[in-house]
Amino acid sequence: MLVALLFWVFLAGGAAPNPARVGVFFEGAQPLDGWDLPQLELASLQEPEADGLAAVNAFCAAAGEGFSAVLGPPLGRGAETLESLCARLQIPFIQTRWAPRRPPAAPTSFNVYPDADLLAQGLAALVASLDWEHFVLLYEGDLAMLQDVLKLQQFRPDSRKNSVMLRKLGAGPDHRALLKEVAAQNVRRVVLHCAPRKVRALLQQGMEVGLLSDFSTSVFLSDLDAHTLDFSHLEIERADLGVCDFTITQERSELIDFSLPIMSLGISILHKETEQEAIDNMYGFMRPFSINVWLHTITLYLVLSIAILLIARLDPDDWENPHPCNPRPDELENIWGFKNCLWLTLGSIMTQGCDILPKGICSRVATAMWWFFSLIMTSTYTANLAAFLTMSRKEEAIKSVEDLANQNKVKYGVMSNGSTQAFFQTSGNSLYQKMWATMKNENPTVFESTNAKGVERVLSTKKGLYAFFMESAQIEFELARHCGLKKIDQYLDSKSYGIGMPLGADYRRSINSAVLQLQENGKILELKAKWWKRGAVECAQGGAEGNKDELGLANVGGVFVVLAAGILLALLFAIGEFLWNVYSIAVQEQMGYLEALRSEAKFACNIGVTRKAAKPALSAPPSEQGDADGMERCILAGAGSVLNINASLLNRLGRQ
């Protein structure tokens, strides 16, 4: 605004042979040597932080030299007195500050600031459009400018607290106590009414006390001179060029000029390469069936084994002669105990068969039905297992921005107060509006203060549960340095980087010509390749692509786990049976348990022996009584054999 006023004064005095002398009351220590206005002679009339009396004295001391115009104090110190003096001396007095409505001023003075009443109505309309149910008003000075904002609070008899909370800022500069009190009230909507030079310090203190700890807090700045775009060095021509990752946008083009685009890019998604799908597939062999199906199958296996046991005992055909050579046996034997029934049903569903089979019709019918069930289940399992291993192997869950928007597992964010955030805020696309609403309401916040912190968060978040929107050129730079990152190949928009410069810079044509020349000879691409590859790391991708269709241990590792668990369980049962058998031998043979254990363990470790004595070999030498008893047993056995032979011979002779 100050530049526009000086330009107006410059036009008014352009015909004068001598430069027009303008007295300026600057706010703060602002140097005058940066202003290139040859038709104007600027004179600073006030030292920084001076009071109203000092401003009047400074004006009176310099008035003898003559002024074409005077720009009034921005903070209103002694403004009324200066206005009267200028009216007396017929000097135009221009004000650029808010002033309450008062009687008409002198014809030589005017204020370019919006009318007080209209401004109050406009601010109230803006705050009302935000649709805030509760907010706090932090202010300094008086509330005349915000009188209509206060009227937004309506009387609600059932409400326990006011919808508008008033807190006056103290002398400062430390306002942490007040801001901490506001943060304790859990109010996340703030209207800040103070001088623009204090905004940054207040926001910084709000961050420190937790009032602005996340991006769910909204702050409305009531002063018209406050903005979030910091291009002051280019605006007032203190800098000649702005060379960085400067995105060309419409809002920035209204403040500064840009060169021709030096690099084209677009917003894309930065995500993390993850092995989560492969890790989950370690037990993928169980995925073809749900947990309920597995439980029902195991239950049916046990129930059917018991059913076959009962049927086999009821069916006469399953009771067999233990000695086939004897046509008239005294006893019949049934081989279908519980262990054999379990083995039959298990071998069937494992498609391995069984060495014994039922002979009764009823038991065969039951077994055939189980075989039919096993055939359907094993065929279905095999087909589904093949589909799961080939289709779900390390498959990317996020392939496009639509996939990201239509899920709620992976969080996504942008850099705060950047062009990417502005794209989502101002986009008319319903999908992007939905994503912006999601990002705003996330807790904890998904926004990051810089792109570097966004990349760090993507890398540090486990299982790839965070994605970050960045410009594609920066994503390519990060991909060259982090093998664990990937880019979703889809652009949300199209934009360009350019070189910033002051509005109307006379060297803009030369810069554009140089940019065109660099593009035509491919120098820009060479520079990009040079700097993007500098510091890059080698990522092993060739081998991974070649073995993409192979199954790794992560896909079938669960089968090895089941095998190891089964063998370990069998070994534990074998040890238990071995110890129980040793105990039985010790009881039957009336020998010590440790002696029997030593004998059986020694034999078990001798893997070259395949025949085992019915009784264990005792370590002590046999006694004489033992030899006598053994001799008697041999004699009796021989006599019994002779008697049996004689009895058989007599039977044959009698038949003849």
User: Are 106 and 120 members of one domain?
Assistant: no
Q: Residue 189: exposed, middle, or buried by beta-carbon count in 10 A (0-12, 13-18, 19+)?
A: buried
How many helices (H) and strands (E) are present in the chain, helices listed first? Answer: 24, 17
Of 407-416, 584-593, 616-625, highest mean pLDDT: 407-416
pLDDT on residue 456:
92
Tokens of 344: 């039959």
Residue 408 DSSP one-character state: S
Q: What is the CATH number of the domain that holds 495?
A: 3.40.190.10
pLDDT category at 434 given cuts 50, 70, 90 is very high
Q: What is the CATH number of the domain that holds 161?
A: 3.40.50.2300
Give mean pLDDT, residues 575-587. 88
Confirm whether 302 is domain-assigned: yes
Spatial CA neighbour of 182 closest among 167, 198, 201, 203 = 167
pTM (2 d.p.): 0.42
Taking only the tens place, the pLDDT of each residue in 159-181 is 555 678 888 888 778 888 888 88
Residue 161 or residue 626, greater confidence:
161
Torsion of CA 370, 373, 374, 379, to 10 degrees: 160
220 and 124: one domain? yes
**What's the pLDDT at 84?**
81
pLDDT tens-digit readout, 86-125: 888 888 888 777 777 666 567 777 777 787 788 888 888 8
Total tally of structural domains belonging to the chain: 5
Could you tell me which of 49, 1, 55, 2 has the C-alpha nearest to residue 27?
49
Same domain, 76 and 9: yes
Higher pLDDT, 231 or 534: 534
Single out the residue in 363, 391, 419 at which a domain terminates.
391
The DSSP string of 441-467 is H-SS---BSSHHHHHHHHHHSGGG-EE
- Measured distance CA(306)–CA(359) in Å, rounded: 17
Domain assignment of residue 646, yes or no: no
**pLDDT at 8 > cutoff 50:** no
pLDDT tier, 235 (very low <50, low <70, confident <90, very high otherwise): low
Annotated binding site for L-glutamate: 247, 252, 419-420, 471
Q: How far apart are CA 76 and CA 95, in angstroms?
A: 9
Q: Are residues 575 and 499 in the same domain?
A: no
> Rounded CA gap, 278 and 395, in Å?
9
Q: Are residues 145 and 201 in the same domain?
A: yes
Q: Looking at 227-241, 435-449, 499-513, which range is the least confident one?
A: 227-241
Q: Mean pLDDT for the chain?
A: 77
Q: Output the pLDDT for position 216.
A: 64
How far apart CA 56 and CA 221 sit, in angstroms, is 31
Which pLDDT tens digit goes with each residue over 530-563?
Answer: 888 887 888 765 444 445 556 677 777 778 888 8
Q: Which residue has the higher pLDDT, 286 or 647?
A: 286
Read off the pLDDT of each residue in 325-342 and give the average, rounded to a whole number.
82
Supply φ then ψ for residue 499, to 5 degrees.
Answer: -100, 125
Q: Tell which of 391, 425, 460 closes a domain.
A: 391
Indicate the pLDDT class of residue 512, thresholds 50, 70 and 90: very high
Same domain, 511 and 411: yes
What is the extent of the structural domain holding 222? 116-226
Q: Do 300 and 387 lie in a common domain?
A: yes
Can you read off the two tokens belonging to residue 215? 């991006």
Look at residue 634 in the predicted model and tell me its pLDDT. 46
Banded pLDDT at 209 (limits 50, 70, 90) = confident
Are 526 and 448 part of one and the same domain?
yes
Is residue 402 located within the same domain as residue 360? no
The pLDDT value recorded for residue 16 is: 47
Stretch among 331-345, 466-480, 571-585 having the lowest mean pLDDT: 331-345
Query: Can you give the pLDDT at residue 342?
Result: 86
Q: Which amino acid is at 137?
A: L
Q: Residue 306, CB half-sphere, CA atoms under 13 Å: how many?
A: 5
Higher pLDDT, 58 or 263: 263
Residue 316 lies in a domain: yes
Taking the C-alpha atoms of residue 437 and residue 432, their distance in angstroms, rounded to an integer, is 9
- Phi, psi torsion values for 16, nearest 5 degrees: -70, 140
Q: State the pLDDT confidence band at 650, using cuts at 50, 70 and 90.
A: very low
As a whole number, mean pLDDT of residues 414-424 equals: 86
pLDDT at 166: 85
| Residue positions counted in the chain | 656
**Regarding predicted confidence, which is higher, 553 or 449?**
449
The answer on 415 and 338 residing in a single domain is no
CATH of residue 300's domain is 1.10.287
Strand (E) or helix (H) holding 109: strand 109-111
C-alpha–C-alpha distance, residues 585 and 596, integer Å: 7
Residue 235 lies in a domain: no
On the question of a cis peptide bond just before residue 444, with omega within 30 degrees of 0, the verdict is yes
Looking at the structure, tell me whether residues 136 and 196 fall in a common domain.
yes
pLDDT at 162: 60
Q: Which of 540, 571, 595 is the last residue of a domain?
A: 540
At 468-487, the pLDDT tens digits run 999 888 898 898 888 889 99
Does residue 109 or residue 305 have the better pLDDT? 305
Evaluate whether residue 548 is within a structural domain.
no
**Domain co-membership, 386 together with 422:** no
Q: Provide the annotated binding site.
A: 247, 252, 419-420, 471
Q: What DSSP string runs through 416-447? A: TTSHHHHHHHH---HHHHHHHHHHHH-SS---
**What is the pLDDT, as a whole number, of residue 411?**
92
